[in-house]
Amino acid sequence: MAERNLKRGFRLGLPSGQTVARAMGLAPLKDDKILIGTAVDKPEKGAEPKPIVETDGVFADNCPLWTYILAEAMHNVESVKVAGVTINTPKLGPVGGRIVAEVFLGLLFGSPDSFLSQNPSWTPTVAPNFGLPEFVKYALGM
């Protein structure tokens, strides 16, 4: 799937992750922070992730968008303890998070059947920490 995503991005002419970050007014990740390798907490000896430019120089300031979003997530890890076990969970960073949010908003505002299209002045009236889990519960009528 990774290969297909990379090929699709190339064929569609998607801009690099760094280009998208700059267009969003963000400082892009430096090449040495975009690591390629297995996404595990403790890689095996000799299998440590390496900067993307060590893969090929063509990627200098030119990281494929999909790879950039994954690399960005690896710099936004949240650690949570569940039953005494620490789980490290990568979260979308500024570029990936904004792309996902804008897609959702585009779908919500673009559909004449969506709640936001039918009532654009709607605001949540529940707890001040209204987030995606609360929105999903609201949408499901829970």
Q: Mean pLDDT, 10 residues at a time, over the chain (142 residues)?
A: 84 94 97 87 83 92 94 90 86 95 90 85 72 78 77
Structure confidence at residue 44 (pLDDT): 83
Q: pLDDT at position 126, please? A: 65
The whole model's pTM is what? 0.76
Question: pLDDT value at position 127?
Answer: 64
How would you class 93 by CB atoms within 10 Å of its CB: exposed for 0-12, middle for 13-18, buried for 19 or more?
Answer: buried
pLDDT at position 132: 76
Residue 20: which H helix or E strand, with range?
A: helix 17-23
